[in-house]
Amino acid sequence: MKRVWICALTLLLLSACAATPPAAEPRELSLGAPRPAVMTAALNLFTDRGYVALGGDARLGRLEFVRGDDRIRVDALSEGEGSRVGLRGWRNGRALAPHELDPLLVELQAELGLLP
């Protein structure tokens, strides 16, 4: 009987490992700058901070960066006159909490000269 309980407890404990990891949630922000300018600013910012670009496409509006264990994806969409930027991040393959990406968005705004 004791063995059954141990088996049940082990199964319960292991079930926590089976859950799928949550998908990365984007941190989005509307910017009053056209998309090409935003992408250039993002490249300028990230390469300055020591990130390596894994790839990007101007028409697709996507850039991908890596630095050590961190991976950042930038999605830029046109929105009227301006654009909408979404940042997603992973550390060691695990999604980062959106609030961790806030400083990057602020620096991106500063790069574009949109901060007061």
Partner 1 sequence: MRICGLFLIPLALAGCAGSAVTPLHQPLVTVAECRWEAPAGMEKVDYAQRVVRALEAEGFRLRDSDMALGLISAERTSAGPLRAYGFPFDRHPWHSLGLGYHRPYPHLFGAYHPDYRAIDQERVSVWLGTDEVRVGRDVRRREPNGVTRTLGRAGNAGFCRGLKASIEETAT
Nearer to partner 1, 2 or 93 (CB): 93
State the minimum distance, in angstroms, from the CB of residue 33 to partner 1.
16
**Alpha carbon of 1 to those of 7, 8, 12, 69: distances in Å?**
10, 11, 17, 46
Choose among 106, 61, 103: nearest CA to 79: 61
Nearest CB to partner 1, comparing residues 50 and 80: 50
Q: Which residues bind partner 1 (CB under 8 A)?
A: 36, 39-40, 43-44, 47-59, 63, 66-70, 72, 89, 91, 96, 100-101, 103-104, 106-107
